[in-house]
Structure 1
Amino acid sequence: MTDVAALAELIRADDAARGRTISRLGYFCAPFRPASGPFSDRVIKIYRALPDADALDRLASAHDDYVAALLGAGVPMPETSFHLVPLDGARVPVIVQQALPETALMRPLMQSAPRDETLAMLQAAGEVIARFWHAVQDEEMRIGFHPSIRNFAIVDGRAVFFDTFPPLIHYSRAEMGRLLLQFSDKRLMRIVGPLLQRRVTAIQDEWYSPPETLVGLVGSACRLRPEHADAYLDWGREFARAEMRPWADAAQAGLDAPPRLPGYWTGFRRLLGLQGEPNV
C-alpha cells in the first residue's frame, strides 16, 4: 500500500532531496528515483494536474484498467500503481513503479551489444508484442500498445515493459490526441500543438496497429544500429510470418526497407529537444 502522504512530501521536496532524475527528455515527465527513504526502490513519474476533476478520475480508472489489461495479456511489467496525490489544492497524477536496473534498459543495450545479442533482444521484445496483440485481437474496446525499444528493459533474457502513460485504453482517437497535448511536459508543445492537432493526433496511430508496432520496433533498431539494418529487416519479416500471421502481410510491407519516422514527428522531436532517451 502506497503512503500517499509520504509521496506528497517527496513531490514537494526540491530536486536535491528527491534524488536523481533518470531522464529529462521524456515527453510527459522527467522520472526520478529517490536516493533514500520508502520509495528508494521505486521510480516516480509526476504528471501535470488538470482542473477537470472528472477527467482526472477517468484517467485514474483508465490507468488501472490498462495495467490490468497488459498483465492479462501476458506483458511482463514491474509493479506499477497510479495515484492522484493532493498537492497545494490540486490532485496531481503520479505513477509509482518498481525500479528496474538501469543496466537492463534495452535502448543502451541495443546501442552497445554485438549483433547477435541485439537480435536476441528484438526477439524478446517481439514475443511480448505478438503475445499482446493475439490476446486482445477479439476485444471490442479500443486498446493500444507502445512497445518501442526505449520502453523495454531486458531482464534475464526477458523483455519487461514499463511505459503505461498515457493509458491506451477506452479513449477515442480524438480524445487520445487531446491527452497527448494536455499532459505534455513541454509548454511549447501545449502552445503550438493545438495548431497542429491533426498531426499530433496521428502520432498515436502506430500504437493501435499490430503490424505497425512491429515495424516501429524494427525501425528503431535500424536507426540505432544502421550497420545491422539488413539483419533486423530479415528478422522482422521472419518474425511476422512465424509469430504474427494475422498481420504478417501488412508488417512485411513495411519492412522492405529500414522504416523511417514520419516527418511531422521528427519535426516535433527536434522542436522539443527530444532525443529518444529511455522513458523510464
Structure 2
Amino acid sequence: MNTSELNRAVRDALADRGDPVSRLGYFCAPFRPRSGPLSDRVIKTYRGGRDPEVLELLARRHDAYAACLRDAGVTLPETRFLVLEEAGFQRPVILQKALPPETMLRDMLRAADLKTAIALLDQAAISIAGFWAAVARRPERIGYHPSIRNFAMGQEGPIFFDTFPPLIGYSREEMGRLLLRFSESRLIRGIGPILPERIRAIQDEWYSPAGTIVGLIGSAVRLRPDDKADLLDWARGFAETHLTGALKDEVMAELDTPPRLPTIWTATRRILGLEGKPNV
C-alpha cells in the first residue's frame, strides 16, 4: 500500500477497532483489527496534538531508534511509524506485524517447566547484554526497555516489540516531557507539572544497562515466586559468565535479595490500573 492507502486503512481500522491486545501500556492500548488489510497488524495510537515540531522529531527519532535496535542485533517485527493528519490535528500511529499470542515471553515463562523457563530467560538476558555492548560507543543518549512483557520468543531467539517512546537522542529532561505529553492518563498529566522529578524518574531504568538486566530478573522472580532461589542462582551464574567489569558488579550487588520494581513504577501502575500482561 502507498501512504495514502495506508492512512485510509488505519482510519478505517480506528473507526472499527477491536478489543485491546493489552491494557498494560502507559501510552496506549494496542489493538488488532478484526478484518481488513491491516488484520495481520497490531495498531498502536498515541495522543495527538497540534505540535508538529514535536511529532516531526518524534517520527525521525523513531526511525533512528528502530535502525539502532536492528544494528545492535535486536530482532523487531516489521514496524512502521505514521503521523495521521486530522484537520490540523496530528496523531502518531505505529503499525507492527502481529506476533502469535503463544510466543509472548511472559506467558511462556509462566507455563514452562523450570529448566525451560531458565533457558528462555538466558536467551533474553544475553540479548539485553548484547544490545548494551553494541551501543556502548555510540555518542547519543540511548535507552532500552526490555521487560519480559515487551518480548516474544521466535525460533531464532527473542523478538522485541516496544519502540515507543524512541529512546535515542533525547535528554533526560526532554524524555520527561515526552512521558507527560504522550501519557493517556489525565491524572499523570496533572501530577507531572507538580512532581516533575517523579515522572522523569520513570525512564531511569531504561537507560541503565544493569537496571534493564536486573529488571528482567526481578520480573521473572515475581512471575515464579516458588522458583525464586533457582532463578537467583541462574541470575548469578549469568552475571558471572556473560558480564564483566562495572556492569557485572552492579548486577551482582542487586542479587542479594529478589529485585523489586522501582517505587515510581509500582505507584504509576497503581494509579493507571495497569495489568501485568504482554504489552504487544
TM over 0.5: yes
Distance, in Å, in 1 between the alignment partners of 2:79 and 2:6 is 17
CA contact (8 A) 1:214 1:236 kept: no
Residue 31 of structure 2 corresponds to which residue in structure 1? 32
More divergent stretch after superposition (89-98 vs 185-194)? 185-194
Distance, in Å, in 2 between the alignment partners of 1:2 and 1:180 is 31
Distance, in Å, in 2 between the alignment partners of 1:108 and 1:43 is 18
Q: Scaled by the length of structure 1, what TM-score is found?
A: 0.94
1:262 deviates by 2.1
| Paired-residue identity, % | 53
Distance, in Å, in 1 between the alignment partners of 2:74 and 2:208 is 17
Matched, 1:216 2:215: yes
Distance, in Å, in 2 between the alignment partners of 1:76 and 1:9 is 26
1:13 deviates by 5.2
Residue 266 of structure 2 corresponds to which residue in structure 1? 266
1:191 deviates by 1.4
CA contact (8 A) 1:48 1:185 kept: yes
CA contact (8 A) 1:71 1:77 kept: yes
Residue 134 of structure 1 corresponds to which residue in structure 2? 133
What whole-Å deviation, never above 9, does each CA across 1:87-117 have from its counterpart, x for those lacking one? 2431210001111001111112222221111
Residue 198 of structure 1 corresponds to which residue in structure 2? 197
1:136 deviates by 0.7
How does 1:90-109 map onto structure 2 within 5 Å? 90-109=89-108
Residue 176 of structure 2 corresponds to which residue in structure 1? 177
What whole-Å deviation, never above 9, does each CA across 1:32-76 have from its counterpart, x for those lacking one? 111221111111100111321111111000000000000000001
1:227 deviates by 0.9
CA contact (8 A) 2:13 2:38 kept: no
1:21 deviates by 2.1
1:6 deviates by 4.1
Residue 255 of structure 2 corresponds to which residue in structure 1? 255
Q: Which segments of 5 or more consecutive residues in structure 2 lack a partner in the other structure?
A: none
Summarize the Cα distance change of 1:13–1:161 in structure 2 as closer, same or farther, 3 Å threshold: closer
Alignment coverage as a number of residue pairs = 279
The Cα RMSD (Å) is: 1.6
Distance, in Å, in 1 between the alignment partners of 2:191 and 2:5 is 36
Distance, in Å, in 2 between the alignment partners of 1:125 and 1:180 is 26
Q: Which segments of 5 or more consecutive residues in structure 1 lack a partner in the other structure?
A: none
Distance, in Å, in 1 between the alignment partners of 2:189 and 2:160 is 27
Counterpart amino acid of 1:165? F
Distance, in Å, in 1 between the alignment partners of 2:114 and 2:108 is 11
Residue 225 of structure 1 corresponds to which residue in structure 2? 224
How does 1:18-97 map onto structure 2 within 5 Å? 18-97=17-96
More divergent stretch after superposition (147-156 vs 232-241)? 232-241
CA contact (8 A) 1:26 1:278 kept: no
Summarize the Cα distance change of 1:13–1:72 in structure 2 as closer, same or farther, 3 Å threshold: closer
CA contact (8 A) 2:81 2:95 kept: yes
CA contact (8 A) 1:207 1:213 kept: yes
More divergent stretch after superposition (220-229 vs 67-76)? 220-229
Secondary structure at the residue paired with 2:82? Answer: strand
Summarize the Cα distance change of 1:213–1:54 in structure 2 as closer, same or farther, 3 Å threshold: same
Distance, in Å, in 1 between the alignment partners of 2:4 and 2:182 is 21
1:120 deviates by 1.1
Summarize the Cα distance change of 1:14–1:95 in structure 2 as closer, same or farther, 3 Å threshold: closer
